[in-house]
């Protein structure tokens, strides 16, 4: 076995970059640590501006041929990638659980099948992508989607492969070539994806994977003049740096950023359903951008809602994510755990009360927490914690509920529990959010637009919206009766 190969739970993973269809090692490495127990997984090639430039050059060289590849052939290859993912669901699941600490059962049953679906969906959508021709004073308008060029995709650590392929699949389907930069805290499944894509017949240079720290290679990727699209999922401060870096070349951006989403519970709601929705916000140890971390509950039912929530939360099992019975795993990194605890301790010092939790369990796990007696303008209500920390506030009128829900700088999602259809329609029309769920949560369809408002992001992806971003959309206008007769 190569010195650049790790064995992770019995699965071989190459630690080098994937550039131009071959493995490339760096002189330096960084240490990848498992959040499950803090153990060292291995040393990963640490990219520099040199590897970043090489990856963009490889993507640029491969672009003309891939852009000229027929839609049918591109779709065939993407389906072959999906086939490869499905054959390796167990490998991908155990490696990602080891690497980022999310539940193994969720990876097996939902996340990795969704990875395959990402490729199949955009392959199929490509084949039906069209806009009906229309007439203007006798002239014919024809809309087409031209591949834009090399695309840099920067992805987060909370759902590494699923969120990476949510970008990679439409970019490749559109005819673009890709440089994927995975998060340094969870790089391993991106390396496996490179192997799967190569085995599926994706041409060299069409997909490149560069590992390392964003602070060291990010600017080299996002400021490169040959990059035509940048898609990023992560924090607002990092998004600002990317936007500044891309501005010199006017490179189009798609930014999916943080959230501080509300769960509005009205007195007429099914409280059992509302509590189920509320407890679900602890999914992935609270490391979900869409999580409804702010509970806004009508005063008349707040006490009963809280009682039922505490009872339901007490049934959750926190521990090793590889165990079938575990409901909440670890947080991704000791630094993240420290950040979470600092938020909570500042809130408690400011007068908040911990109904449950309010403390770390050890160096990897944070106790599921619910804080009350929090002010609307407090840090814990206004800023994204990205951990298993929720707040509860009350309201007395529908107008107050909407005001509180919208009173942050974010606008990614919102969840609403009510038995009144007319109220649901009124409230959802007023909520600032890219996605609103009514009496449900996390129901996602790839043909729907996805993105955030305000500081939660720029742009929408999904279905045709993805192709609108990853392509140069062209309108061709043809005059009538302008052809010579060569008959």
Residues annotated as catalytic (active site), given as ranges: 256, 289
Residue pair 149/57 in contact (Cβ under 8 Å)? The answer is no
Q: Render the burial of 385-406: b for 16+ CB within 10 Å, e for the rest.
A: bbbbbbbbbbbeebeebbebbb
Helix (H, G, I), strand (E, B) or coil at 412: coil
Which phi and psi (to 5°) does residue 45 adopt?
Answer: -55, 130
* Mode of pairing for the β-strands spanning 139-147 and 134-136: antiparallel
Q: CA 47, CA 210: separation in Å to the nearest integer?
A: 6
Q: CA 203, CA 200: separation in Å to the nearest integer?
A: 9
First to last CA, the chain: 67
Q: CA 452, CA 236: separation in Å to the nearest integer?
A: 12
Provide the CA 447 distance to its chain's centre, in angstroms: 16
Q: CA 261, CA 292: separation in Å to the nearest integer?
A: 4
Residues ≥6 apart with Cβ < 8 Å to 31: 40, 42, 43, 44
Q: Is the dihedral of CA 383, 384, 387, 393 positive or negative?
A: positive
Q: CA 342, CA 369: separation in Å to the nearest integer?
A: 13
Q: CA 56, CA 313: separation in Å to the nearest integer?
A: 47
């Amino acid at each position: 076995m190569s010195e650049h190969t790790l064995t992770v739970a019995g699965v071989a993973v190459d630690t080098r970059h994937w550039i131009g269809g071959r493995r490339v090692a760096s002189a330096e490495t960084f240490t990848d640590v498992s959040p499950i127990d803090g153990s060292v997984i291995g040393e990963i090639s640490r990219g520099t501006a040199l590897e970043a430039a090489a990856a963009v050059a490889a993507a640029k060289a491969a672009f003309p041929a891939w852009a000229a590849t027929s839609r049918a052939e591109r779709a065939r290859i993407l389906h072959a990638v999906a086939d490869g993912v499905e054959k390796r669901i167990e490998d991908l699941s155990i490696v990602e659980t080891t690497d980022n600490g999310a539940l193994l059962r969720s990876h097996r049953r939902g996340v990795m099948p969704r990875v395959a679906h990402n490729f199949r969906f955009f392959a199929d959508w490509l084949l039906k992508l069209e806009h009906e021709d229309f007439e203007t004073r006798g002239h014919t308008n024809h809309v087409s989607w031209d591949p834009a060029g090399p695309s840099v995709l920067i992805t987060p650590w909370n759902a590494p492969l699923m969120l990476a392929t949510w970008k990679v699949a439409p970019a490749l389907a559109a005819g673009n070539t890709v440089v994927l930069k995975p998060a340094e805290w969870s790089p391993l499944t991106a390396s496996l994806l490179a192997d799967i894509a190569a085995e599926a017949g994706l041409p060299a240079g069409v997909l490149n994977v560069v590992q390392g720290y964003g602070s060291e290679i990010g600017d080299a990727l996002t400021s490169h003049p040959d990059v035509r699209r940048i898609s990023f999922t992560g924090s607002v401060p990092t998004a600002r740096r990317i936007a500044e870096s891309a501005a010199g070349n006017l490179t189009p951006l798609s930014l999916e950023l943080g959230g501080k989403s509300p769960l509005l519970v009205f007195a007429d709601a099914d409280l059992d359903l509302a509590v189920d929705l509320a407890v679900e916000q602890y999914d992935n140890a609270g490391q979900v951008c869409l999580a409804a971390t702010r509970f806004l509950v009508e005063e008349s039912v707040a006490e009963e809602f809280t009682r039922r929530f505490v009872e339901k939360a007490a049934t959750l099992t926190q521990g090793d994510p590889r165990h079938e019975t575990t409901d909440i795993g670890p947080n991704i990194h000791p630094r993240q755990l420290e950040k979470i605890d600092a938020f909570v301790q500042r809130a408690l010092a400011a007068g908040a009360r911990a109904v449950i939790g309010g403390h770390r369990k050890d160096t990897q796990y944070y106790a599921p927490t619910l804080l009350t007696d929090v002010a609307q303008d407090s840090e814990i209500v206004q800023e994204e914690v990205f951990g298993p920390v929720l707040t509860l506030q009350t309201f007395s009128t529908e107008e107050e509920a909407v005001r509180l829900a919208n009173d942050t700088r974010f606008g990614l999602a919102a969840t609403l529990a009510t038995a009144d259809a007319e109220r649901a329609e009124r409230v959802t029309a007023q909520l600032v959010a890219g996605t609103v769920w009514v009496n449900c949560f996390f129901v996602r369809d790839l043909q729907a637009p996805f993105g955030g408002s305000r500081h939660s992001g720029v742009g929408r992806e999904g279905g045709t919206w993805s192709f609108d971003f990853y392509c140069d959309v062209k309108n061709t206008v043809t005059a009538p009766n302008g052809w010579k007769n060569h008959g």
